A and B are shown apart, each in its own frame.
Chain A
């Protein structure tokens, strides 16, 4: 088990800059999410760490060893791909055993280890099946067991739940969290889903346009985002001029009060515990407020009603954080 250090990594593809001077430290034993929109460079960063892409500049350290020049097969990483990358012509058993077979481990040891892992990923009894006979979630668990079989020092997951339906995705997230508590291997998960990152990871690295915007715990990112991009990426946000307000920080009142502004209710959406209220302020700006169902019922909100709104908490970014001054890739 080892931490990962990325130093000033730059990667270009035919003139497109996927990563620009990226430096980040992944603590040993942590579960870190690389979060960003598509094209932000998060997958490229993961593949550079895995050794599947060669950086144009910079270094990658696993533990204290510089592995920049080392091929993927000698890095001791375990990788899980979005589309499973199951070896279709091999049984589940042979898939999981692959890395050990390559290492020419004794047959008895392979057998013991594969069965241990199949138990860990809850696929015991399916050892003789082929990948085509498994569901998506089962295939991805098999891929995870296969990656863990070689006892990697780091585990790299490239959008591992991206191809699964919402319910299975939620299950697997919780399961991955528990698995990490059990095996403690340094893990990086790439995702574009902020909810997934927050639910699973202890540390989140937010990427945008090939650069790191912020590194922090889910709380830090949500409560003190470094800039506009992070603020709007990690959760819903209202933008009022230069001020940013989270929908749950919008107070809705029936009577005017200090600092309140008049607004009209456009729509009320009930979502079980929470209610979302779409408003338009008297200055024409649209606003989303998030209330509990109970609050919404007490206010007896309905379409066209005039209410008064006030932000209990707002964020204003400095000029630099608002418009990060950077040369665009291209």
Chain B
């Protein structure tokens, strides 16, 4: 009896916390029908925001995938001293509030920061796309590393050593042995990284300057529309973000079919 009560409680919690608010956004977006919603998400500003979001993700995700795999290999395979510190640093973006990430980038690249002089040479990082890419890379760094590390530990080094004795060089060993062993973990990490890159608000907001039609990603656009009392625009764009998120979750399920409920 108490088991059913617990289950019902957990379901109610999920419904109230997650399902109803998101469903409400969908409801509000289409409150006045499909046409106004479609109009709201196809304005030049909204389309630009969508495009910029995808561009930022298209740079940050591959970069973090490559770096993430290298970091994971370093953490698991190398005998480098200070791996414990490196391990902690990789987790930093998860622990740190994104706004702090954004502000630290502003300090570092801004006027008077260590790399603040770059702007004088025509390299604009803050209030421009490079800064947004950097912020996104920062916050979405841990996912590939965290997915790949346990899998690398589990597969061990015997297969790699066997490949080595059979004549494979380091790159061949990686391509033919190590990568196939971790590819699902990498894919899972890529999906999580993508989700985070597309949805990031705080860090990107701090460095972007939030200039409409220039440095606004979708989450920033949603906030701007909401603040400007364009609720239909805000909700409709939210729906676009939510749909992307749902596609990502479905992608996750496709990658991990084993975890499907029994």
Contacts and interface: CB of A to CB of B under 8 A. Distances in A.
A150 interface: yes
A83 B155 CA distance: 12
Contacts of A72: 161, 164-165
Interface stretch (B16-24, B105-113, B166-174, B252-260): B166-174
Interface in A53-110: 71-75, 77-79, 81, 83, 85-89, 98-99, 102-103
Contact of B177 (A71, A81, A87): A87
B160 to A, nearest CB: 9
A74 B158 CA distance: 18
A99 B163 CA distance: 8
Interface of A: 50-52, 71-75, 77-79, 81, 83, 85-89, 98-99, 102-103, 143, 146-147, 149-150
A73 B169 contact: yes
Given A81-B161, A81-B162, A103 B167 contact: yes
Contacts of A81: 158, 161-162
B39 interface: no
B245 interface: no
A153 to B, nearest CB: 12
B158 A102 contact: no
User: Interface range on chain B: under 10, 10 to 19, 20 to 34, or 35 or more?
Assistant: 10 to 19
Interface of B: 158-159, 161-169, 172, 176-177, 180-181
A148 to B, nearest CB: 11
A272 B163 CA distance: 46
A104 B165 CA distance: 16
B172 A83 contact: no
Contacts of A52: 161, 164-165
Contacts of B162: 79, 81, 85, 87, 143, 146
Contact of B181 (A74, A79, A88): A88
B240 to A, nearest CB: 38
A135 to B, nearest CB: 19
Nearest to A78: B165
B180 A89 contact: yes
A102 B168 contact: yes
A150 B172 CA distance: 16
Contact of B159 (A74, A87, A150): A87
A102 B167 contact: yes
A114 to B, nearest CB: 13
17 contacts: A52-B161, A72-B161, A72-B164, A72-B165, A73-B164, A73-B168, A74-B167, A79-B161, A85-B158, A85-B161, A86-B159, A87-B177, A98-B168, A102-B163, A146-B166, A147-B165, A150-B166
